[in-house]
A and B are shown apart, each in its own frame.
Chain A
Amino acid sequence: MDPLLVTQALNVLYEVVTLAVIVLGLAIVFGLLGVMNLAHGEFIALGAYVAYVCQSLGLPYLAAVPAAIAACALLALPVERFLIRPLYDRPFDTLLATWGLSLFMRKAIEIGFGGGYKSLKIPVSDSVLVLGAPFPAYRVLLMALCAVLIAALLLWYRRSVAGARVKAMVGNRELAQAVGIRTDRLARDTFVVGLCFAGLAGVMVAPLVSVQPYMGLDYVLRSFFVLVVGGLGSPLGLLSGAAAIGGVESAMSALVDRTAGYSTVLLIAIFFLWRRPHGIFGRS
């Protein structure tokens, strides 16, 4: 096979898979719980900065994983208690409150780390041959990890008791309470898990992107678009949305330029928001 074509295909695949992992946290928080968390991107940034700190301290890169999860969980608990829970039946205000939170977090990161770009050393720096084309090893590793993570999560959601209880709560909250599920606790735990996934995604992509205080903005918007286009509350929706948005953007960026890529994504998102807000696979 033509190595150039393989490389391009791998690039697209890489974009789609990493996009899916970035959206994963919001798919849990917004797709399942219906919470419009505009601070999602900032939790990804938090994960990335934790990774930076760990690397600066000379720790092995894997140490960043539990550190980021701990940081996000610690922050997520008071956020859930004071911002999200009081606003459960006011989705609009949730949007605004989480946006205020994102402003706060962005500025806090800027104050703490300065406004410039931080670059991290890539943990695995060689390149491997995939179908005859050279491709950075870390990216391959990342894609594999992302695929495993998503598959594991989907399997857990389908098969586990906890996953069934979340499904029950999301589908029929009153009956869930009637059978004895403590829905506010379950919602809180689900929310925290969602934000921890955001932090994890941050750790994973940190070596490959520019780590700066405003990195979250891009991620949160893209994540919303993926969910709107793909459909809320459905694993298939997450994957198809990531494929659609990620695929279209990388294709357009390669064919024309980045602006065209982003603009096309915006147009698609606008169309779905207007006409089909439940997306391809969501329920209306």
Chain B
Amino acid sequence: MGSLAVRSAVLLLLLLALPLALGEYWAFQLGLFFLYAIAALGVALCWGQAGFLPLGQALFVGLAAYLSGAALIQWGEAWWVFLLLPFAALAAGALAFLLGLIIFRGRSESGPYFAIITLAISLLAFQVANSWNEVTGGYNGMKGIPGLPGLEGFSDVYYLAAVALACAVALCGWLVQAPLGTLWRAIALNERRVAYFGYDTAMLKAIAFGLSGVLAGIAGALYAPQQGLVTPELVGFALSADLVIWVAVGGRKRVLGPVLGVVLVGILSAELRERTYYWDLIVAAGFVFVVLYASGGIGALLAPLERLLPGRRKALEPLRAPAPKAPRTAVTLAIEGVSAAAGEVRILDRLSLAIARPGIYCLIGPNGAGKTSTFNMLTGELRAQAGEVRLDGDTLSKPTPYRLARRGVGRKFQIPSVFGELSIDENLRIALWSGRTSLLDWLRPAPRRWDTPVLAALRGRYPFLDDGARLASALSHGERQVLELSMALVTEPRLLLLDEPCAGLSGEETAQVMAVIRWARDTLGLSVVIIEHDMALVKQLAEHVFVLHQGRLLAEGDVAAIRSDPRVHEVYVGAAE
């Protein structure tokens, strides 16, 4: 974190020195754009980190501006009015957080629909601001807002804006590096997978949206005294749209990107728009170009420069991680008479099976027997219409991946779904933090150094995991399978659901994975349920086999019993005969 403080100080000094070089006129212009840059940082936080795009961010800028303007008009003479400005920003942030929570809990993915919802909400706000004459001054706006007491002239306001910007940049820099930033980036890559690790992704996204609201609110709160006037245009579509363009062109993934975007595009626009008609065409074309070919924006070009800045990260000393919060006892699972259908098709038909002891169980059966559907039913993706599932004796009602993970149930999918654009270390940390951290932990740097005996043992078995900075997408298919299996084991689950863990692996890799599964059973005392088609694997690993057929349990027992069971023979070969 030392390097962050250094970089922020450098930025602040640069900003403070600018007016000396450029003069009073520019001080006023730049001051306004610094405020826009603060709002743009919020947009970048949502879009570049957490992967959802707010298209109506000006709503929060305008809200805070109206609140701050009203406060200044009422109590402008008092010295303590300074304290009200943060409240205006926090009010905007609280609204953003609430909206985010409501929207994200109501829908499972962000995508384009969230963008349009925020757009529609901001348009609605514009209508309100435009017609509510008594409160907002309607079409003509809120006029005659005094400046902040004690600040004289354009320079003072500029310095305040510069300090606010530097603080905002520092805050964003910290968030990006904190565990919260890693979690956001994982959500942007594969939200469902993050939920499977026991994270409340809706809450995480709402936090991002709320923080972006605070940043927009800071901009709005300072806008009112700076401009002296707040009109409904501030809430309107034009500023929201500009913010998105500035962030896109400047670069949404790097912290300084939005600042660059605002400064380059925003200021250039203000100057050049008068001079040439074609400027707006150029900006629009540039925006399309960035969307198509250069999604990193200008900021991506600066990436090599960042390495030159002071404060290289030292090797981190590992810290012992706290124990997982989930109960540590051996799990018992009882599925009784569960039926599930999709339309006309019976997927599970009064399925009953039970696991009472730790061990390795295999789930086999022909196509369409309901093997993956059983897993889906356990983790809530497939809704059961009848029957009961009991985990540790408690009935499981309305399961979600998140809730199951908190109770120590882990799942690994057939196609490896590691977070490709994150490093191996970040992937493992996300798994490690699950079930062991709370909100405050996500803001501290310490959890990045956590280690556990299980993780150390896995690193010992698979040396490629040590190369922590390597991106997961650079791994081979087999290595990705192993990484994902390691992530599942690092959460120290009590019940692990594996869907064809050796799919696509070579013979040697398969043997290694089998060894790890056995080791995990011995060390962690967990129950593993493996869906497999490879009978050689089943014969070597399984202590107990469940055979599914047409959504029902056909037979169970050890491997020898299954092989000699005529009903099983009938299903695998008999239908063919």
Contacts and interface: CB of A to CB of B under 8 A. Distances in A.
Q: Do A and B have CB atoms closer than 8 angstroms in the complex?
A: yes
Interface of A: 36, 82-83, 86-87, 91-93, 95-97, 99-101, 103-104, 107-108, 110-111, 217, 221, 224-225, 228, 259, 262-263, 266-267, 269-270, 273-275, 277
Given A93-B292, A100-B284, 8 more contacts: A82-B292, A83-B288, A92-B53, A93-B295, A96-B291, A97-B292, A104-B288, A110-B277
A274 B124 contact: no
A205 B109 CA distance: 37
B116 interface: yes
B281 interface: yes
Contact of B288 (A101, A273, A274): A101
16 contacts: A83-B288, A83-B292, A92-B112, A95-B115, A96-B291, A100-B287, A104-B288, A108-B281, A110-B277, A225-B120, A259-B127, A266-B127, A270-B120, A270-B121, A273-B120, A274-B117
A102 to B, nearest CB: 8
B53 A263 contact: no
Interface in B253-311: 277-278, 280-281, 283-285, 287-288, 291-292, 295
Contacts of B284: 100-101, 103-104, 107
Nearest to A217: B237
Contacts of B128: 263
A267 B120 CA distance: 8
Interface string B122-163: 011001101100000000000000000000000000000000
A217 B119 CA distance: 12
Query: Would you list the 8 A-B pairs with minimal beta carbon distance, nearest first?
Result: A100-B288, A104-B284, A103-B284, A100-B287, A107-B280, A266-B124, A97-B291, A96-B291
Q: Which of A91, A110, A111, A274 has the most CB of B within 10 A?
A: A274
A274 B107 contact: yes
Q: Which of A100, A101, A107, A221 has the most CB of B within 10 A?
A: A100
A111 B281 CA distance: 9
A228 B237 CA distance: 20
A100 B123 contact: no
Interface of B: 53, 102-103, 106-107, 111-113, 115-117, 119-121, 123-124, 127-128, 130-131, 237, 241, 244, 248, 277-278, 280-281, 283-285, 287-288, 291-292, 295
Contacts of B102: 274
Contacts of A275: 106
B281 A266 contact: no
A96 B111 CA distance: 12
Q: Which of B111, B241, B288 has the most CB of A within 10 A?
A: B288
Nearest to B286: A100
Contact of A263 (B107, B124, B295): B124
A270 B130 CA distance: 20
A263 to B, nearest CB: 5
A235 B202 CA distance: 34
A78 to B, nearest CB: 12
Nearest to B285: A104
A37 B409 CA distance: 42
Q: Which of B111, B112, B119, B277 has the most CB of A within 10 A?
A: B112
Given A87-B292, A266-B120, A273-B116, A259 B280 contact: no
- Taking chain B's interface residues, is the majority helix, strand, or loop, or is none over half, making it mixed? helix
B258 to A, nearest CB: 16
Contacts of A95: 112, 115
A259 B113 CA distance: 24
Contacts of B131: 259
A133 B120 CA distance: 37
B187 to A, nearest CB: 14
A64 B288 CA distance: 30
Contact of B112 (A91, A111, A274): A91
A273 B113 contact: yes
A270 B103 CA distance: 10
Contacts of B116: 224, 228, 273
A116 B112 CA distance: 33
Nearest to B248: A96
A225 to B, nearest CB: 8
Given A91-B111, A259-B130, A266-B123, A97 B281 contact: no
B343 to A, nearest CB: 12
Contacts of A270: 117, 120-121, 124
Contacts of A269: 120
A91 B123 CA distance: 23
B117 A273 contact: yes
B48 to A, nearest CB: 13
Q: Which of B131, B281, B285 has the most CB of A within 10 A?
A: B281
A263 B130 CA distance: 12
A70 B43 CA distance: 40
Nearest to A82: B292
A223 to B, nearest CB: 12
Contact of B106 (A221, A259, A274): A274
Contacts of B244: 96
A226 to B, nearest CB: 13
B120 A111 contact: no
A91 B124 CA distance: 25
B1 to A, nearest CB: 33
Contacts of A225: 120
Contacts of A228: 116
B300 to A, nearest CB: 16
A217 B121 CA distance: 16
A225 B113 CA distance: 11
B292 A86 contact: yes
A36 B115 CA distance: 12
B395 to A, nearest CB: 28
Nearest to A104: B284
